[in-house]
Amino acid sequence: MSSKHTLDCSNLLCPMPVIRTQNALKELNEGDTLEVICTDPGTLSDIPTWCRINQQEVLSTEEVDNQIIFYIKKTAN
């Protein structure tokens, strides 16, 4: 059973959202989804880059008002 989790990185600046995402994913099981809420525009490039190099999958990215929301699927340990 995969499960969904949420991580709020509002008001955190680079590289904290990346660090928090990395650490949160470590705790999840493969197949789980993590919703990450960010406000630092730098995350638009950094979170997908981190996911690419660490073989995690960004399912989608939404920008709503000043928030950037990533849905990440844990695909590797």
Partner 1 sequence: MTQANSIQTSNNAPQKKRKAVALISGGLDSLLAAKVIQEQGIHVEGINFYTGFCVEGHTHAIRKKDKDKQKRNNALWVAEQLGIKLHIIDISEEYKDIVLNPKHGYGANLNPCLDCKIFMVNQAQAWAWAEENGFDFIITGEVIGQRPKSQRKETMPIIARESGAEDRLLRPLCAKNLMPTLPEREGWVDREQLYDFSGRSRKPQFELAKKFGFDDFAQPAGGCCFLTDANYSAKLADLWEARGERRYELDDIMLLKVGRHIRPKPNFKLIVSREEGENNFLKGYKKQFTSIHTVSHGGPLTLLDGSFDKEDIKLAAQIVARYSGGKSADAVTVQIENFNGTSYVMDVPPMPAHEVKEEWHV
Q: What are the residues binding partner 1 (CB under 8 A)?
A: 11, 13-16, 18-19, 22, 40-42, 44-46, 49-50, 52-54
Instruction: Annotate 1-61 with three-state secondary structure.
Output: CCCEEEEEECCCCCCHHHHHHHHHHHHCCCCCEEEEEECCCCHHHHHHHHHHHCCCEEEEE
- Shortest Cβ 20–partner 1 spacing (Å): 9
38 given a catalytic annotation = no
- Shortest Cβ 54–partner 1 spacing (Å): 5
Choice among 9, 14, 38, 51 that is catalytic: 14
The set of catalytic residues is: 14
